[in-house]
A and B are shown apart, each in its own frame.
Chain A
Amino acid sequence: AQSVTQLGSHVSVSEGALVLLRCNYSSSVPPYLFWYVQYPNQGLQLLLKYTTGATLVKGINGFEAEFKKSETSFHLTKPSAHMSDAAEYFCAVTRIQGAQKLVFGQGTRLTINP
């Protein structure tokens, strides 16, 4: 069975500082990986995803993530945090083939301090 672990349910950074949100997955075969963001009272929006090809993936709003198979990780980073980045971030995986249900981590709430 697939599972996702997000280290840290709450992360707080200063505006302009580096954002690092950690995600590790467990899967018998490397899955496809996603990061979604949820702003207050809204649905989930895709930030970026890794399926095949380059392991460093760039997404929207200046975010990027790197798939590291040896570490079973897919950490999300942004060089300089902005106040508008305050939200909840979810890492998720799906199988490469077959049922495409998303298996989510528990989420990380990102707070930006002025």
Chain B
Amino acid sequence: DSGVTQTPKHLITATGQRVTLRCSPRSGDLSVYWYQQSLDQGLQFLIQYYNGEERAKGNILERFSAQQFPDLHSELNLSSLELGDSALYFCASSVTGAGQGGETQYFGPGTRLLVL
């Protein structure tokens, strides 16, 4: 158990809909990262938040957005869903994620999204 929790574990929805994925980082970790794992794209970084502020952005679609709340939990919002958005979405956390590299990122169990 990494200490990172994600809800829900599974999500089935229809094209055009909007969903929210939730992540609680390990106690004391300030950074949250979101990754998408799909068969065709592999594991791709989406976005990082550090202590409530967006810190880095990756291959995140404009239909997707995220935020980190004062209690440090994070939500990833996916809207106007398409079939191709079906994937496993991971959240990870690290102690700071700011500046000095090499920190371990601890991954949650993921949310499996299926868009029908």
Partners in one complex: yes
> Which A residues have a C-beta under 8 Å from some C-beta of B?
32, 34, 36, 42-46, 49, 51-52, 90, 94-107
Known pairs A43-B108, A51-B102, A104-B43; A99 contacts B48 (CB<8 A)? yes
A49 touching B43, Cβ below 8 Å: no
Within 8 A of A (CB), among B49-97: 55-56, 58, 90, 92, 94, 97
As a 0/1 sequence over residues 22 to 59 of chain B, the CB contacts with chain A under 8 angstroms (1 = contact) are 00000000010101000000111100100000011010
Of B2, B31, B109, which one neighbours A100 at CB under 8 angstroms? B31
**Chain B contacts of A99 at CB under 8 A?**
48, 55-56
Known pairs A44-B107, A101-B58; A32 contacts B102 (CB<8 A)? yes
B104 touching A100, Cβ below 8 Å: no
As a 0/1 sequence over residues 96 to 116 of chain B, the CB contacts with chain A under 8 angstroms (1 = contact) are 011111111111111000000
Known pairs A51-B101, A104-B42; A45 contacts B48 (CB<8 A)? no
Known pairs A43-B2, A43-B110; A32 contacts B101 (CB<8 A)? yes
A94, B45: Cα distance in complex, Å: 11
B2 touching A102, Cβ below 8 Å: no
A90 touching B103, Cβ below 8 Å: no
